[in-house]
């Protein structure tokens, strides 16, 4: 029972736990500083949010999907065919695009009769894109050599995608990162896995 009204009126007793106001402010400030030191590096150097706009990645990604982009792991492991990446559009680096890596450095990509063929070191194979509907064709007959630290990218919605068939390759330095996680919509929450070819 020990505490009386006079004790409560004394400095430092206002909160009933003996902590001065400035100490409470300092505790909150420390929490804010620590949270900032943790969140900012994650936000700017490790992971970054990205909202899909448009239908170029339908049916696998819809307009409005909220994605988390991994910016760090690719600095150690590089990119693989099938990775979905977010990058600066080479013709206007203020814009961000999302596409799928189809051709890797040193390869030649040939699109003919609706199929995508990869050629390297005298060998070639037709790309089996299991993530696309069976009847989907890749329009725009072409053949393009990919240089070092460059990638050829396509949207999954081949009929309506503005991609490497039109404006060319993506330099590695323009790539922000690869899609790691879809957070929204909640019903579609999922970790993104690169398909096997």
> Which residues have a catalytic role annotated?
56, 99
What whole-number distance in Å separates Cα of residue 39 and Cα of residue 72?
Answer: 15
CA Rg value for the chain: 26
Helix (H, G, I), strand (E, B) or coil at 17: coil
Task: Quickly list DSSP for 152-178.
Answer: EEE-SSTTT--SHHHH--EEGGGEEEE
The neighbouring-strand residues paired with 157 are none
Count of residues for the chain? 197
Helix (H, G, I), strand (E, B) or coil at 144: strand
Name which of 75, 73, 64, 132 is nearest 98 in CA terms. Answer: 64
Name which of 71, 76, 103 is nearest 86 in CA terms. Answer: 71
């Amino acid at each position: 029972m020990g505490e009386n009204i006079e004790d409560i009126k004394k400095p430092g007793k206002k909160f009933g736990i003996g902590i001065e106001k400035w100490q409470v402010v300092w505790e909150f400030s420390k929490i804010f500083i620590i949270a900032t030191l943790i969140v900012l590096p994650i936000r700017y150097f490790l992971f970054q949010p990205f909202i899909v706009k448009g239908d170029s990645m339908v049916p696998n990604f819809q307009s409005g999907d909220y994605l988390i982009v991994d910016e760090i792991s690719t600095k150690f492991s590089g990119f693989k065919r099938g990775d979905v990446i977010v990058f600066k559009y080479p013709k206007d680096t203020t814009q961000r695009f999302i596409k799928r890596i189809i051709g890797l450095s040193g390869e030649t990509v040939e699109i003919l009769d609706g199929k995508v063929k990869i050629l390297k070191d005298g060998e070639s194979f037709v790309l089996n894109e299991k993530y696309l509907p069976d009847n989907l064709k890749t329009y725009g007959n072409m053949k393009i050599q990919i240089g070092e630290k460059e990638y050829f990218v396509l949207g999954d919605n081949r009929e309506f995608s503005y991609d490497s068939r039109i404006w060319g390759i993506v330099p590695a330095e323009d790539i922000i990162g690869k899609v790691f996680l879809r957070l929204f919509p909640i019903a579609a929450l999922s970790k993104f896995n690169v398909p096997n070819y």
